[in-house]
Amino acid sequence: MSQPLNPRRAVYAGSFDPVSLGHLDIIARGARMFERLIVGIGMNPEKHPLFTPQERLELLQSVSHHWPNVEVACFEGLTVSFVRRCGAAVMLRGLRTLTDIESEFSMTLANRALAHDIETVFLMASEKYSHISSSLIKQVALLGTDTANEPLEAFVPHEVIGMLRRKFKRDQPA
């Protein structure tokens, strides 16, 4: 028989490629709701991430270190298996758009079929972050080179900007 899961412990899983202000908002709100929040960086072999798992781990650790009840870890395999290994009874997800609702709904049903003792809890994205996605951030980093202000400031924590610039070699002289 498997161990009982802790309902005051939650896992917030995703790709975080890279972590955005929208993700950080969900982490801040989740840290207030749960005794312990584990941010899980999923290593999906079908995706081709810009940042390595180690880079994503370091970025997430540096932007979340001031929450004592938040920890960050990488995982392979099914998210529900990772949630179970963490002893958490809750998966935390963020919802931005109607499209998110559709895909999250089927994902939740699939996860429930795999693990009926794990509940998914959704937080609505805050209004000011609901348009932010990791793919939008990568597009802005690649194309937003001719603006006076740093356009990435509106989307990602400061720690991420330097890493993004280096990835796209924006800070190198022509």
Q: Which is nearer to ligand ADP, 139 or 145 (CB)?
A: 139
**Does 64 qualify as catalytic in the annotation?**
no
Active-site annotation holder among 29, 85, 96, 170: 96
For the record, the structure tokens of 1 come out as: 């028989």
**Does 47 qualify as catalytic in the annotation?**
yes
Q: Which is nearer to ligand ADP, 23 or 36 (CB)?
A: 23
Question: Which residues in 15-54 contact ligand ADP (CB under 6 A)?
Answer: 15-16, 20, 22-23, 26
Sequence-separated (6 or more) residues with CB below 8 Å from residue 13: 39, 40, 41, 42, 75, 79, 82, 83, 91
Segment near ligand ADP (CB under 6 A); pick from 13-21, 30-38, 60-68, 157-165: 13-21
CA distance 112 to 66: 32
Q: What is the side-by-side order of every strand in the sheet holding 70-75?
A: 70-75, 36-42, 6-14, 88-95, 119-124
Task: Tell me the closest approach of the beta carbon of residue 36 to ligand ADP, in angstroms.
Answer: 18
**Run of H or E residues at 107:** helix 98-114
Question: Which residues in 78-137 contact ligand ADP (CB under 6 A)?
Answer: 93-94, 96, 100, 125, 129, 132-134
HSE-CB of 47 using CA atoms within 13 angstroms: 16
Active-site annotation holder among 32, 47, 66, 116: 47
CA distance 81 to 87: 10
56 binds ligand ADP (CB under 6 A): no
Q: How many residues line the site for ligand ADP (CB under 6 A)?
A: 16
Peptide bond into 18 cis (omega under 30): yes
**Does 134 qualify as catalytic in the annotation?**
yes
Contact between 26 and 12 under an 8 Å Cβ cutoff? The reply is yes
Task: Tell me the closest approach of the beta carbon of residue 20 to ligand ADP, in angstroms.
Answer: 6
Active site residues: 23, 47, 96, 134
Footprint of ligand ADP (CB under 6 A): 14-16, 20, 22-23, 26, 93-94, 96, 100, 125, 129, 132-134
